[in-house]
Amino acid sequence: MTTPAPRSAPNSSVLPEGWGMVIGLEVHCELATATKLFCGCPNHFGDQPNTNTCPTCLGLPGSLPVLNEHAVELAMRLGRALHCDVNRSVFSRKNYFYPDQPKDYQVTQYDLPTNLGGHLDLPSGHRIGITRAHIEEDTGKLNHVGGGGRIHDAEHSLVDYNRSGVPLVEIVSEADMRSSEQAKEYATELRAILLATGVSDAKMEEGSMRVDANVSVHHLGEPWGTRCEIKNLNSVRSLGRAIDHEALRQIDLLNNGETVRQETRHWDEASGRTGTLRVKEDADDYRYFPEPDLVPLVPSAADIARIDAALPVLPAARRSALADAAGVLATSGGVVVAVERGLDHLAQAAIRSGADAGRVLTHVEHNLAVDGAAALSPEGFGDLVKMETSGELTATQAKTVLAEMVATGGAPAAIAQARGFEALDGSALEGIIDGLIAAHAEEWEHFRNGDDKARGKLTGFFVGKVMQASNGQADGKAATALLRAKAGL
Amino acid sequence: MSALEIAAAVRAGERTARAVVEEHLSLIGVREPELHAFNLVTAEQALAAADAVDARVAAGEDPGPLAGVPIALKDNLCTTAIPTTCSSKILAGWKPPYDATVVERLAAAGAISLGKTNLDEFAMGSSTEHSAFGPSKNPHDITKVPGGSSGGSAVAVAAGFAPLALGSDTGGSIRQPAALCGVVGVKPTYGRVSRYGLVAFASSLDQIGPFAATVADAAALYEVIAGYDPRDSTSIPEALPPVRHRLDDGVAGLRVGLVTELCQAEGIAPDVVARVAAAAEALAAAGAKVEEVSVPAVIYGLSAYYLIAPAEASSNLARYDGVRYGLRVDAPTTAEMYDRTRTEGFGPEVLRRIMLGTYALSAGYYDAYYGKAQKVRTLIIRDFQAAYERFDVLISPTSPTTAFALGAKADPLAMYLNDICTIPSNLAGHPAMSVPFGVGADGLPVGVQVMANALDEVTMFQVAATLEGAMA
């Protein structure tokens, strides 16, 4: 194993000295089923309002729920991917009045959830506990019309019940995160697991993955403070910004001698601030009780074994495998990015073919963030890296050839030949540079005697000219080195 | 004519379904104004359905086992494009876009719905006095209640408006009005009859069942509506053993337990107990082995029921909020709209039970109320199981008294006590039925309750048929 043993999280660097923050996340994900959780209506985003509805998901009198087996399967699959115990579970009703909720109760799991007690290992090596991952139904969606489009100043509101009854899993983490960076890493890794297992399409922008963050602050070494919950963060970036903003807000309060109220807050992306949504004291009593219209869910040992056997290789294991092949740490940037982009198999194959692992990972990390990269032939990619390390191509040329390989599927040797790429030998490069020094004496003087800033600018100037003169065949690094040597630096 | 006789005549082409329906509609025309069995009589649809049945007979097809048989449907069963009110103002104007499973099955069996019958609002009550549209009256004495909550259905059968009716039974709402109106009323095993399309009162207790003038007719209706339905997750997948051809098997050798606690409970009238004793004798005379049996936990049934049923009701009735259908009383904010709509839309008994149930489920009270009631429920099931190790069926009074006067039980607790004998079977999920067995001191009908173990409707019907035969 290249993955280091899980360790506890480092504290946030954005907070003033002596302060720490504590973060737990609740993530709602729509399950990738064809139909809703309790009826046969399509589970499909973006259709005309109220077209994917029936008596059951409209909560009409007399309608009854019938549990979607595939939703249960997906939830259990996620549970096992998060190392949870899969248990006998019971659906409960969570009672509260809201117009987007047609029955005025939500069917969810309360004291007996399907998945309990797992963990998620972050790419950086930290282990985050998973409290539970339970199944529940989504609500409809309110569209506020008039005013500012928010509930408080709207003229009226329209309800779209297409989302009503869409199956969700809610994944609740332990309060194990200590910085917004980790929270972002957790959300990113969880998303990767959801995608790898096919449990959810996890599109944050379409709301099929929604993150709530519980944030509190404390003086390091002292007990944790009162937490606030920030609702419905719809991008990883918002998650990070909202957490840091919220932690600093709480520290400001405490520094001013005030206290933090336990409350639910919303994040306003435009203003970059959180605001009060509701204070905990007015929180509803949800009067949970077992849903009498459904029977308990009792997975057999065979069900769980079947799900385990069908689990795909998860991102953490893929990072380990690639790191082992490359001889680097599983936390290294190239490895993390390769697995994130699904390019780990390509990279491994290229490394196996004898290509330099460092160059392979560099290309994956910096030059392959494009559509179609995954379709690259591993042999061709390996050959390209070999041509580069053997000096047949400069780094710049290799990058150009790689881009064309992705676009056209061609072989690197053929592309290099068609473009007339061949690395300049040292004497040709020296000739070009000598010519440039003669032609640009004033710039050369500044380069030799100027400050670092000026020299940096002029390096760009000269290397650019070298590239022009060599038809892009010169190696930028070699050119820089030669320039400095000639300047006596 | 019984339902079975009508079906036989219609299937044989001896009578038309239209003639049958017209005859019953004319009866309704005569007595319905004083009895108020129906919230809505759907005469036009009934005649059209009758013509369709007749056309099938004429074409040589078999329209089904209930061909041309008129039936009355309790107005908490969903019927496509026909108002379903639950006798509540809050559902004003609502027409379901779908049929309940039982309604579909009836149509497939050739039965013809005459309309929707009156009930205590949302099936909460024992007299139909809690209907938003006024009470139904007992056909044997119109100063008396017909019982409830399925009072309208019991009246429809007792008055001859329809040979068959459907009701729903959460704590006795089929059996008690059947007893008070002198007809047969059956609550099958929980899960035997699909609840899909039954507007929920208390989901873990609700069960649809037949009313009929005879045990054989009730059995025929039971066979049509019972059986697995994938649309109800609590529906029982086991195959349904047919009942009707076993009705004449008699009770020789059967072990019958007379439940002591239900004959001695508070408020059970001596004339009713006397009729139950007579029923026990009749069964013994027919060859059954009859003994008294103690089922101790049943006396806690009423208390447990009045926590569990309102708790579930408080949640089931939350959806009547004015947002999507039914009554809406507008207000400046959504919360006020909820308040006003529900305050105006629900009657006092429904509001009382919503309050009770909300309280029973509240944080800090759940364990003491709802949680404890569920434990009592487990005890009742345990005590019944012990009894069913020694007995095939249990008998008791259905209702503590014969029909009481309209307005006599204004105190809610006095009304709740009506269900003391019927509630235990709902809590246990067991089948139970009421069969008429003579009259009380006032000359009004008395019903005997026959209870059986889960899924054993066959034995229950056999015992009821024997009692019916003993009265003939």
**CATH number, domain with residue A432:** 1.10.10
Same domain, A154 and A281: yes
Chain B positions in Cβ-Cβ contact with residue A298 (cut-off 8 Å): none
Is B203 within 8 Å of chain A by CB? Answer: yes
Residues A54 and A182 in one domain: yes
Place of tokens 């082409």: B13
Q: How many CB atoms lie within 10 A of CB B260?
A: 15
From A64, A103, A288, residue closest to B195, measured CB to CB = A64
Q: Which residues of chain A does B97 touch, with a Cβ-Cβ cutoff of 8 Å? A: 55, 60
What residues in B contact A64, CB-CB < 8 Å? 195-196, 231-233
Q: Determine whether the interchain pair A289/B86 forms a contact, defined as Cβ–Cβ distance below 8 Å.
A: no
Q: What is the mean pLDDT of residues B399-407?
A: 98
Are both A302 and A321 inside the same structural domain?
no
Which position has the higher pLDDT, B163 or A435?
A: B163
CB B436 within 8 A of CB B471: yes
Domain boundary among A418, A443, A475: A418
β-bridge pairing A263-268 and A91-95: unpaired
Angle at A394 between CA A392 and CA A395, to 5 degrees: 130
ipTM: 0.96
> What mean pLDDT value characterizes chain B?
97
CA angle, B249 then B252 then B258, to 5°: 110
Interchain proximity B233–A102, CB inside 8 Å: no
pLDDT of residue B266: 84
Pairing of strands A127-137, A141-145: unpaired
Indicate yes or no: CB of B233 within 8 angstroms of CB of A58: no
Strand A127-137, strand A167-173: pairing: antiparallel
Q: Which of A105, A285, A292 sits opposite B204 (nearest CB)?
A: A292
Return d(Cα B94, Cα B85) in angstroms, integer.
Answer: 7
What pLDDT is attached to residue A149?
Answer: 66
Q: What domain range includes position A387?
A: 315-418
Grouped pLDDT means (10 residues each) for chain A, 489 residues: 51 88 97 98 94 97 98 98 96 96 97 97 92 97 80 82 97 97 95 94 91 96 95 92 96 95 90 79 80 97 96 93 92 88 92 94 90 88 92 86 92 88 74 89 87 86 86 79 85
Same domain, A375 and A264: no
pLDDT band at B15 (very low <50, low <70, confident <90, very high): very high
Q: How far is A95 from chain B (nearest CA, A)?
A: 7
Residues A158 and A241 occupy one common structural domain: yes
Same domain, A275 and A301: yes
**Looking at the complex, does the CB of residue A93 fall below 8 Å from at least one CB of chain B?**
yes
Q: Are B449 and B432 in contact (CB under 8 A)?
A: yes
Residue A355 is assigned to a structural domain of this protein: yes
* A64 vs B231, B335, B338: nearest CB: B231
How many domains, chain A? 3
Q: Judge whether B217 and B3 are in contact, CB under 8 Å.
A: yes
**Closest CA–CA distance from residue B81 to any residue of chain A (Å):** 14
Q: What is the pLDDT of residues B222-277, one digit of tens each?
A: 999 999 999 999 999 999 999 999 999 999 999 999 999 999 988 999 999 999 99
Contacting B residues, span 338-377, partner chain A, CB-CB under 8 Å: 338, 358, 361-363, 366, 370
What is the set of domains in chain B, with CATH numbers? 1-472 (3.90.1300.10)
Shortest Cα–Cα distance, B18 to chain A (Å)? 31
Cα separation of A145 and A48, whole Å? Answer: 17
Q: How does DSSP assign A151-196, residue by residue?
A: TTT-SEEEEEGGGTT-EEEEEEE-S-B-SHHHHHHHHHHHHHHHHH
Burial class (CB in 10 A: 0-12, 13-18, 19+), A364: buried
Q: Which residue of B has its CA nearest to A102?
A: B319
Task: Confirm or reject contact between B2 and chain A (CB < 8 A).
Answer: no
Please report, for residues B45, B111, B289, B472, the alpha-carbon distance to residue B162 in angstroms, rounded to integers and kept in the order given.
15, 11, 36, 21
Q: How far is B145 from chain A (nearest CA, A)?
A: 27
Distance of CA B80 to the CA centre of its chain: 21
The answer on A197 and A51 residing in a single domain is: yes
CA dist B460 and B192 (Å) reads: 14
Residue A448 burial (C-beta neighbours within 10 Å; 0-12, 13-18, 19+)? middle
Q: Do B196 and A105 touch (CB under 8 A)?
A: no
Regarding whether A64 and A168 lie in a shared domain, the answer is yes
* A and B: number of Cβ contacts within 8 A: 97
Residue A12 counted as domain residue? no
**A298 and A325 fall within a common domain:** no
Q: Is A65 on the interface with B (CB under 8 A)?
A: yes
Secondary structure (3-state) at B93: coil
Nearest CB neighbour to B233, from listed A64, A93, A288: A64
Structural domain includes residue A129:
yes
Are A234 and A356 part of one and the same domain?
A: no
Give me the pLDDT at residue A79, please: 98
Q: Is A14 contained in some domain?
A: no
- Between CA B400 and CA B418 the distance in angstroms is 6
- A115 in any annotated domain: yes
Q: Which of A55, A287, A295 is nearest residue B98 as measured by Cβ atoms?
A: A55
Classify residue A233: in a domain, yes or no: yes
Choosing from A418, A446, A472, the residue where a domain stops is: A418
Q: pLDDT, tens digit, for every residue of B340-378?
A: 999 999 999 999 999 999 999 998 899 999 999 999 999
Q: Are residues A155 and A213 in the same domain?
A: yes
Q: What is the pLDDT of residues B415-467, one digit of tens each?
A: 999 999 999 999 999 999 999 999 999 999 999 999 999 999 999 999 999 99
What are the residue numbers of the active site of B?
A: 74, 149, 173
Domain-embedded: residue A34: yes
Which residues from B are below 8 Å from A293, CB to CB?
200, 203, 233-234
Residue A5's pLDDT is 45
Contact assignment for B318 to A285 by CB distance below 8 Å: no
Domain boundary among A310, A332, A352: A310
* B98: chain A residues, CB-CB within 8 Å: 55, 60, 62
Instruction: Assess whether A381 and A269 both reside in one domain.
Output: no
Closest to A316 (Cα-Cα) out of A343, A341, A348, A340: A340
Q: Is A6 inside a domain boundary?
A: no
